[in-house]
């Protein structure tokens, strides 16, 4: 993930006040706030995490306000799959976006190939939003609804439908949310200790 300082929508400073308070309390906007979604996705895809190692940096962007980058977080799931998340802050980079100026990419590599999500919030990489490589062939998916706002609309509709009818699975429980919180807190704990391995299941 690359966070940039130019492009995207205008966000009033008042909207950031609670995040600035969170930052001053050691919970950065990248790792703790936006990171919640990335860490939740990792848990959703691959299950429980048993070890986290992190090196969370700090870059002052205005007096008394620092962003939690550069950062590297690595982890291991209970099934042996490992993940790495790299966060870079590029304050002067212009990024085309209808939303926040984040350039985000996911890649999952398996035994026979990989799947790559080329963008999320912004439009940094001008490729199809999903590519799958297997058996020597690259398949690109051009006709997906990959607008970031659509995910909020569809998630909201699913939530309301579930409340009214119980139709469809409710993907996240309170315990799942606690798992994401423990994941994030384990990253902070590891970084504070110099990058040692932390089992998030022991974080309280």
Per the structure block, which two tokens stand in for 30? 């990248």
Q: Read off the pLDDT of each residue in 134-140 and give the average, rounded to a whole number.
A: 96
Per the structure block, which two tokens stand in for 163? 């409340």
Confidence band of 10 (pLDDT split at 50, 70, 90): confident
48 pLDDT more than 90: yes
Q: What is the mean pLDDT of the chain?
A: 92
Confidence band of 26 (pLDDT split at 50, 70, 90): confident
16 pLDDT more than 80: no
Question: What is the spatial distance between Cα 40 and Cα 173, in angstroms, rounded to a whole number?
Answer: 12
Question: 173-182: long-range contacts at Cβ-Cβ below 8 A with a sequence spacing of 24 or more?
Answer: 176/40, 176/43, 179/43, 179/48, 179/49, 180/36, 180/39, 180/40, 180/43
Q: Distances in Å between the alpha carbon of 59 and those of 67, 92, 118, 161?
A: 5, 13, 26, 43
13 pLDDT more than 80: no
Question: What is the spatial distance between Cα 200 and Cα 10, in angstroms, rounded to a whole number?
Answer: 36
Question: What is the spatial distance between Cα 121 and Cα 94, in angstroms, rounded to a whole number?
Answer: 14
Lowest mean pLDDT among 2-6, 16-20, 40-44, 84-88: 16-20
Q: Read off the pLDDT of each residue in 49-57 and give the average, rounded to a whole number.
A: 98
Question: What is the spatial distance between Cα 72 and Cα 40, in angstroms, rounded to a whole number?
Answer: 17
pTM attached to this predicted model: 0.91
Question: Residue 142: its pLDDT value, please?
Answer: 92
Confidence band of 11 (pLDDT split at 50, 70, 90): confident
53 pLDDT more than 90: yes
Question: Residue 63: its pLDDT value, please?
Answer: 83
Contact between residue 34 and residue 129 where contact means Cβ atoms under 8 Å apart: no
78 pLDDT more than 90: yes
* Cβ neighbours of 108 (radius 10 Å): 15
């Amino acid at each position: 993930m690359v966070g940039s300082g130019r492009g995207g929508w205008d966000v009033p400073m008042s909207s950031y006040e609670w995040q600035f308070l969170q930052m001053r309390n050691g919970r950065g906007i990248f790792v703790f706030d936006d990171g919640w979604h990335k860490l939740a996705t990792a848990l959703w895809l691959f299950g429980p995490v048993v070890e986290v190692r992190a090196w969370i940096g700090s870059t002052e962007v205005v007096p008394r306000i620092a962003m939690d980058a550069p950062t590297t977080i690595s982890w291991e799931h209970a099934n042996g799959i490992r993940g790495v998340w790299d966060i870079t802050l590029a304050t002067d980079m212009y990024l085309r976006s209808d939303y926040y100026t984040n350039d985000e990419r996911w890649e999952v590599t398996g035994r026979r190939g990989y799947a790559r999500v080329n963008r999320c919030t912004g439009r940094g990489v001008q490729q199809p939003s999903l590519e799958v490589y297997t058996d020597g062939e690259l398949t690109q998916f051009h006709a997906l609804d990959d607008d970031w706002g659509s995910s909020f609309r569809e998630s909201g509709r699913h939530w309301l439908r579930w409340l009214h009818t119980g139709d469809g699975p409710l993907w996240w429980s309170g315990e799942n949310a606690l798992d994401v919180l423990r994941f994030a807190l384990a990253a902070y704990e590891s970084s504070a200790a110099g990058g040692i391995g932390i089992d998030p299941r022991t974080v309280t």
